[in-house]
Structures are given as C-alpha cells and as structure tokens.
Amino acid sequence: MAAPESGKHWADNARCSGQDPELFIPLSDGPREDPDEVRQLQGIALNRPLNFCASCPLAVAAQCLVESLRLDDEYGIRAGLLASERSALRDSWKHRIDAEAVSAVLRGVPVVLNEAERGEVISRFAADPALNADHVAWGLGIPRKYLWQLVREHNQSSALAPSTAIASGADAG
C-alpha cells in the first residue's frame, strides 16, 4: 500500500487537522495571562491538545507558529505554545521588518505584512519615484488612490517629526 500523499498546504499535515478547534482554545488563556497560572488552572485538560502539537512534524509546527505570528493570533494553542507563551514572540514579530517581504510588495507581489513592514513599504515608495504605484498598491492589496493618501500622510508625519524632536528637546532643557 502506498503512503498517503502529503497535503499541499502545511496544515493538511498537522496532527490537529480535522479536530474540534475548541479543543485548542483554553478558556483561561489569553495574551495577557500568566502561562504558569493557565497551566495550573487547566491542568490535565491541556494534555490532549499539547500532545497533538508534540506529535506534529517539526516543519509543520514551525509553519503553525509563523502563521500564528504573522496573523497576530492572540488566542489558542499554536505550535505547542499557549497564547500567553506566544505573547512576547508576537510583540517581537510585530516590530521586525522582513526585507524580502518588503521588496516583494514593492515589486507588486501580495504579501501579508506587519505594521512595521507596511510602514517601510510606504516610506520606500514615498522616497523612490521610480517605483510603480500600481505594483505597490497591488502588493499591499489596496487601491492606488489609498496608496497616495498613505504617502501624503507619511510625508506629513515625516515633515513634522524633526520639529517635534526639536520641541521636545527644548522642553527637556
């Protein structure tokens, strides 16, 4: 008998695939909870979902974690981590800038970006008149008109930033 063909999407190979999603959302867990308290409150109720995660292939668990961070998933067990355990990772992820993702969007490739990456795309587009507005708008998944609005807002906030810094520096002295 031939081995079953792997799914085309990483989640097709996840051990939790087909399970009740509620199993992976402990009621007492959330992004601002203490993970140790959650584990103490939930006790053995966490064993089943965490065992599913532990039995996942490493590549699947890695994709699960990356997706949860990329989508800013605040609740539920992902990649064997409680939401409260992923909180610090989520905060770090929000502030990182993936240069490849930013470059892809500037070329017109739609990519899910965090807020810092979107800001970088707008900043680079505003600074480089050679970039194609239609490509950048497509990559961001927004209308061209809205892209130009974001550029105007970026330019206005950039023009205000130095004077704000000077004013706050004067206040400090």
Per-residue model confidence as pLDDT tens digits over 46-61: 999 999 999 999 999 9
pLDDT of residue 6: 56
Over range 64-92, report the average pLDDT: 91
On whether residue 148 sits in a domain, the answer given is yes
Domain end among 55, 70, 95: 95
Q: Closest Cα to residue 101, out of 79, 124, 78, 128?
A: 124
How far, in Å, CA of 26 to CA of 39, rounded? 10
Q: Tell which wins on pLDDT, 167 or 23.
A: 23
Q: Is residue 70 part of a domain?
A: yes
Asked, for residue 27, whether it belongs to a domain, the answer is: yes
Question: Which band of pLDDT confidence, cut at 50, 70 and 90, is reported for residue 173?
Answer: very low
pLDDT score of 40 more than 60: yes
Domain that holds residue 73: 20-95
The model's confidence at residue 112, banded by pLDDT at 50, 70 and 90, is confident
The total number of structural domains in the chain stands at 2
130 part of a folded domain: yes
